[in-house]
């Protein structure tokens, strides 16, 4: 036995005669409109728990998706489970709407409307978006790297952001630190960042911390977060972040820029299990370049590197993709080239080593 194909008008007549119509698209798709009277049940959910949505295996049911392919596949899955009469709407909701059949816009929350495009991604979905909403991130630095990181973490719906920076906004910052405006000159960056982020997304929580990271306070700020992002421009702060994160087992995303170049990596070291930042750069002499005030920087460079850091952060928080653990990604904007440097844990590392 196979699925019974029907066009939208036939499906509508069957629905009017009392048959159950089920929309098997994803929740993010329902918000754009669905066939009137359809019961929204995502394909994976219906295939897994059909008995909760269909009275019995002898009850005829109509399935509809966006274009017809998913409803066909879902119908075959239900038939394999013993359901006898399953119709699939050819052309799906698109054809239903084109035929002028009744549509409804289901009530949706701000959460669904705000993140609808993101939740359409199979690797995100509503579950992933809810995971982001529960995530807690510490961003150290609200400057060139921190600006794009903060913007896109807030826009993506990361539920709690702790923005830490003790610096004051100067006119020379505005060329690259896009969190801040001309009217913010003289304001603390952490305060300005909070105001900007909440104006973008008032549904998240932002904590501003006017303080500088150092070995004596870093553990207080990372103890209740899921991830740390390094938006600093000095080695002492990075070593403080790396050492504390390694001792606590907290992942952190590294980023650094030099004129037209930048680097990104993700560290998730634990006691006796590296690599950590010191495995890659045992001391500041080999850890990179001078900061922007000493070497200069093209304004877009920290923007590009900061976005790569944010990508790594979101991948980690969602549990998708391949993280840059044990890999240093270097990017040259002038040549538009990138390359990876692979590195491993140092058994003799004083922080994460086993020797």
**Any idea what the CATH number is for the domain that residue 20 is in?**
3.40.250.10
- Which residues are CB-neighbours of 252 under 8 A, at least 6 positions away? 227, 228, 229, 230, 241, 242, 245, 266, 267, 268
Please identify, among 86, 108, 130, the residue that sits at the C-terminal boundary of a domain: 108
Query: Would residue 355 count as lying in a domain?
Result: no
Q: What is the pLDDT of residue 127?
A: 85
Which CATH number does the domain housing residue 270 bear?
A: 3.40.50.720
Q: Let me know: does 8 contact 89? Beta carbons within 8 Å.
A: yes
Among 108, 135, 156, where does a domain finish?
108
On whether both 262 and 296 belong to a single domain, the answer is yes
Residues 164 and 94 in one domain: no
Residues 157 and 55 in one domain: no
Residues 192 and 331 reside in one and the same domain: yes
pTM exceeding 0.85: no
Residue 19: the pLDDT is 96
Name every residue whose Cβ is closer than 8 Å to that of residue 257 and which is 6 or more positions away in sequence: 144, 145, 233, 263, 292, 297, 301, 302, 305
Assess contact for 24 and 43: CB atoms under 8 A: yes
Q: Which domain holds residue 281?
A: 118-342
Sign of the four-CA dihedral 346, 348, 350, 353:
positive
Asked if residue 163 lies in contact with residue 185, where contact means CB atoms within 8 angstroms, the answer is: no
Q: Please, what's the b/e burial string for 80-90 (b: 16 or more CB within 10 A of its CB; e: otherwise)? A: eeebebbbbbb
Q: Give me the pLDDT at residue 218, please.
A: 94
pLDDT for residue 292: 57
Looking at the structure of the chain, the number of domains it has is 2
Are 48 and 128 contained in the same domain? no
302 and 260 in a common domain: yes
| Chain CA centroid to CA 104, Å | 30
**Consecutive 10-residue runs of the chain (355 residues): their mean pLDDT?**
92 96 89 90 89 89 96 96 95 96 82 84 86 96 96 97 96 94 96 96 95 94 96 92 95 95 95 92 66 74 97 97 96 95 93 84
Beta strands in 186-260, from DSSP E residues, in sequence order = 205-209, 227-230, 252-258
């Amino acid at each position: 036995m196979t699925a019974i194909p029907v066009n939208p008008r036939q499906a509508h007549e069957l629905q009017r005669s009392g048959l159950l119509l089920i929309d098997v698209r994803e929740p993010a798709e329902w918000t754009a409109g669905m066939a009137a009277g359809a019961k929204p049940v995502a394909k994976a959910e219906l295939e897994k728990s059909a008995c909760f949505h269909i009275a019995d295996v002898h009850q005829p049911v109509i399935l509809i998706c966006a274009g017809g392919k998913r409803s066909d596949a879902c119908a075959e899955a239900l038939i394999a489970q013993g359901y006898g009469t399953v119709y699939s709407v050819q052309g799906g909701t698109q054809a239903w709407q084109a035929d002028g059949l009744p549509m409804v816009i289901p009530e949706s929350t701000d959460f669904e409307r705000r993140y609808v495009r993101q939740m359409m991604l199979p690797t995100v979905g509503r579950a992933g978006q809810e995971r982001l909403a529960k995530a807690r991130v510490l961003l150290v630095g609200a400057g060139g790297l921190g600006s794009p990181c903060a913007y896109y973490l807030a826009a993506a719906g990361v539920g709690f952001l702790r923005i830490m920076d003790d610096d004051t906004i100067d006119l020379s910052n505005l060329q690259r630190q896009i969190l801040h405006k001309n009217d913010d000159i003289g304001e603390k960056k952490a305060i300005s960042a909070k105001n900007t982020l909440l104006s973008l997304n008032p549904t998240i929580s932002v904590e501003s911390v006017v303080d500088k990271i150092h070995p004596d306070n870093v553990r207080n700020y990372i103890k209740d977060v899921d991830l740390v992002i390094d938006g600093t421009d000095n080695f002492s702060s990075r070593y403080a972040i790396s050492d504390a994160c390694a001792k606590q087992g907290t992942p952190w995303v590294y980023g650094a820029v030099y004129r037209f170049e930048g680097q990104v990596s993700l560290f998730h070291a634990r006691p006796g299990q590296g690599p950590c930042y010191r495995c890659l750069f045992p001391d500041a002499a080999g850890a990179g370049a001078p900061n922007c005030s000493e070497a200069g920087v093209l304004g877009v460079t920290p923007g590009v590197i900061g976005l790569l850091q944010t990508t790594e952060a979101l991948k980690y928080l969602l549990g998708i993709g391949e993280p840059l653990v044990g890999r240093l990604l270097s990017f040259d904007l002038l040549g538009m080239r990138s390359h990876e440097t692979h590195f491993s844990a140092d058994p003799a590392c004083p922080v994460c080593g086993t020797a």
